[in-house]
Structure 1
């Protein structure tokens, strides 16, 4: 029982924050520690119940022998009153037997009472420590998550800050965009110029055809007049 309480105390006294720093999954570690503490306390509780049971059994046995002692005293007195001294003496012998047994039980019973009180007090303290650890668990988990979030933000800020400080990535992107825009404008301009030229050529061809037809039409009209 003593070793069990020492083990529980060691767990509760452990620097959980230090343990958290050494594991990859602090939340899982914290929960495992709490579960281990709870398991040990449940076992300690069973031990305390056994100690209390033993105390009660000794108390009951002691009380029974005291009761029998008084009972045989009364019988001895009754026998002596009746004039039967031998029977009274025999009753007193039985009384002394119960007195002796009761006396022998007093020491163990007192020790059991003291042990039960100490174990119950220690168990209450451990249960209070466990309740405190559960509260700390919630706080530690919240702090761990906040720390991870802060670390992630710092890494992200550092990453972006590095990009903003050098400017290489954004400069290259901007240059590429400008190049694409210039190429697009050049293609559009070239297309417009080609379209204008084609329209001019088409217009010249059409004018030539019109002139040809006009010439033919004049020739025909002139012949008709003759």
Structure 2
């Protein structure tokens, strides 16, 4: 089922209100434009039929006018020939053509008024359709803008994550440096201890050798 039930619903529709209340404005505007375009096709089709009918009517008017002139001439000829009876018959045909011509002219006036109304309706509908397409363009621009802004935000989030990871890496490197300093102190401390023990062992060797030399001197 369509949004609109008749032509006046479309031209009187408040697009802004409809779109503001719509859950999905972009879908709503597509539906509105679709129905407007279909209605415009129908209006133009009706106009084309009436224009064709008016052309046919114009040919009938011309033929009937010629008939009026034809029977008028025949009446004059009959009267000039002294045939009043034939002149009356010719005038009767002329009046018949005149009556038909009057009816055709009335139909032509009605068709002209109808075509004028259809033209006004088509213009109103075209204006409404143009308004709807402008709103569609505005919605499209809003959507594109929102998508761009979202991408910018997403890139900003990625940048923040990268920055946080970089900070964490620098923090890790700082910890690694501190641990290396501790290990270097431990390594240095271990070397000092080894050196001290070696020195003690060397002192013992010297003392032992000195004691041995003293024995040799005493016994010598």
TM-score of the pair, normalised by structure 2? 0.65
d(CA) in 1 for partners of 2:43 and 2:54? 17
d(CA) in 2 for partners of 1:179 and 1:78? 123
Gaps of at least 5 residues in structure 1 are 161-169, 220-226
Query: For residues 178 and 92 of structure 1, do their structure 2 counterparts lie closer, same or farther at Cα, with a shift above 3 Å needed?
Result: closer
Displacement of 1:44 in angstroms is 0.8
Query: For residues 117 and 186 of structure 1, do their structure 2 counterparts lie closer, same or farther at Cα, with a shift above 3 Å needed?
Result: closer
TM-score of the pair, normalised by structure 1? 0.63
1:29 and 2:36 aligned: no
Superposed CA RMSD: 4.2
Of structures 1 and 2, the one scoring higher in RCO (CA 8 A, sep 6+) is 2
Alignment of 1:37-186 (within 5 A): 37-143=36-142, 148=146, 184=176
Q: 1:98-117 CA distances to partner (integer Å, 9 max, x unpaired)?
A: 22222333332222222222
Query: For residues 24 and 150 of structure 1, do their structure 2 counterparts lie closer, same or farther at Cα, with a shift above 3 Å needed?
Result: farther
Q: What SS does the aligned partner of 1:14 have?
A: coil
Q: 1:14-72 CA distances to partner (integer Å, 9 max, x unpaired)?
A: 23233333444322322331222122111111112222222332232233212111111
Gaps of at least 5 residues in structure 2 are 158-163, 213-220
CA contact (8 A) 1:12 1:133 kept: no
- Residues paired across the two proteins, number: 191
Alignment of 1:173-212 (within 5 A): 184=176, 187-203=179-195
Displacement of 1:77 in angstroms is 1.4
